[in-house]
Amino acid sequence: MPLLKNAHILIIDDDPVGIQMLNHVLWRAGEVAFATSGEAGLQALGQRAFDLVLLDYEMPGLDGISVCRLIKNQHPELPVIFVTVRNDPEAEVLALSSGASDFISRPYSDAVVMARVNTQLRLRLYAERIRSQVMIDPLTGLANRRAMEEALLREYARTRRQGTPLSVMMVDVDHFKRFNDYYGHLEGDNVLAHVAEALRQCARRPGDVVARFGGEEFCVVLADAPNAPACSVAEAMLQRVRNLQLPHAGSTTQPYVTVSAGVATLHPPANAQAYEPNTSSSNHELLARALDLVRNADTALYHAKVDGRDRVVSYADLPPDSTMADFNPTPLRAA
C-alpha cells in the first residue's frame, strides 16, 4: 500500500537522533515538523493543523502520557502514535488508554512505521470525508449548526491564545412566517437558499464561516474581525439581500425580502495569555464560553427586529441593561 502524500506530521521527541530517524522514514509522506518538548509540541498544535502526531513516551517536563491526554482533550480527532523505547505491556496499555491510536516500540522496522502511519492517515482521511458530509445543511449548502460550533470553538481558542478579535453575527429573515403563509413552504425554501448564497458572497475570507443556525436564522463567524468591520460586512449582507428583490407581499417592512442582523465582538486584552497546557479548558467548557458571544449577537438581533427590521445592531451599542424581554431565542447548548 503506497504511503499517502501531502500529510502534515508532527514529531514530539526530546531526542534529536530519534527525530532524525523518524524524519528519514516519513519525509515522503509530506511535511514533517518537530518539537523537542511536550510544551513546544502543544504550542505547535495551537498554531497550525496537523494530520498525525508521533509522540515519545518519556520526556522531561510534560511526559508523553500527559501530552497525549492534552492533545485528545483539545483535538479529539487527531491520531497520536507513541514511538518509544518502552516495550512493556503496562506502558502500551497506559498509552492507548490515554487516547493514542497506536504504539510502536524501538528499535522499529521502517516498513512497520510506514505501514502504521499510512493506516492512521487513511483512517483520518476517511473520517474527514464522512464528517464533511454531515456538516453541511442540505437545503442551503451552508455549514450546519454543528460545523458552526466547531468553527466558533476553533476561533475562540485562537482568540484566547493570540489576542485577536472575534465577531459573531446572527441574521434572520424578516417576516418569514408570513412569507411561508402567503407563498408556501417550497417558495420559503427557495428564499432561504437565495439568502444563504447572498450571505456567503459577503463573507469569503478563509476564516469566515456562514452557517444555517436553524429555520430562517443564520450565524456568521468572522475570525480576526473587529466590531466596525464586522458591522460593515453585516450591512453588505443586508444590501445584497435587498438587491435580490425577492417579492414579499406579507412584509410590513419592504415589499421584498429583507433580513436583520445582530453583531457581537470579543476584543481580548492586548496582553492575552498564551496557551497554557497545564490549565487548558476542555472543548466543552470553551464552547460554553464561546456561545455567550452568540447570545450577545442574538440579543442585538432582537433589538434590530424591535427597532424596525432590515437593519444591523451591534451589541456594543446597546445599553448595559439591555434584555430580550418577551423573546425566546433558539436554545443554545454546548454539543
Encode pLDDT of 147-163 as tens digits. Answer: 999 899 989 988 888 88
Question: Which pLDDT does position 323 carry in this prediction?
Answer: 52
Residue type (1 letter), 32: V
Question: Which pLDDT does position 130 carry in this prediction?
Answer: 81
Average pLDDT over residues 89-93: 96
Question: Which pLDDT does position 119 carry in this prediction?
Answer: 94
260 has pLDDT over 80: yes
Taking Cα atoms as reference points, which of 74, 288, 282, 261 lies closest to residue 167? 261
Mean of the per-residue pLDDT values of the chain: 89
Burial of residue 30 (number of CB atoms within 10 Å: 0-12, 13-18, 19+):
middle
Residues recognised as catalytic: 216
d(CA 198, CA 142): 11
Average pLDDT over residues 277-284: 56
d(CA 145, CA 185): 21
Match 428564499 to its residue by C-alpha cell: 191
Ranges 48-52, 230-234, 285-289, 297-301: which has the least confidence: 285-289
67 has pLDDT over 60: yes
Cell for 295? 447570545
Residue 39 · residue 64 · CB < 8 Å? no
The model's confidence at residue 327, banded by pLDDT at 50, 70 and 90, is very low
Residue 143 · residue 133 · CB < 8 Å? no
DSSP 329: P
* pLDDT tens digits along 8-47: 999 999 999 999 999 999 988 889 999 999 999 999 998 8
d(CA 70, CA 283): 11
* pLDDT tens digits along 155-214: 998 888 888 999 999 999 999 999 999 999 999 999 999 999 999 999 989 889 999 999
Which has more pLDDT, 328 or 36? 36
Residue 248 · residue 257 · CB < 8 Å? yes
pTM for the whole thing? 0.64
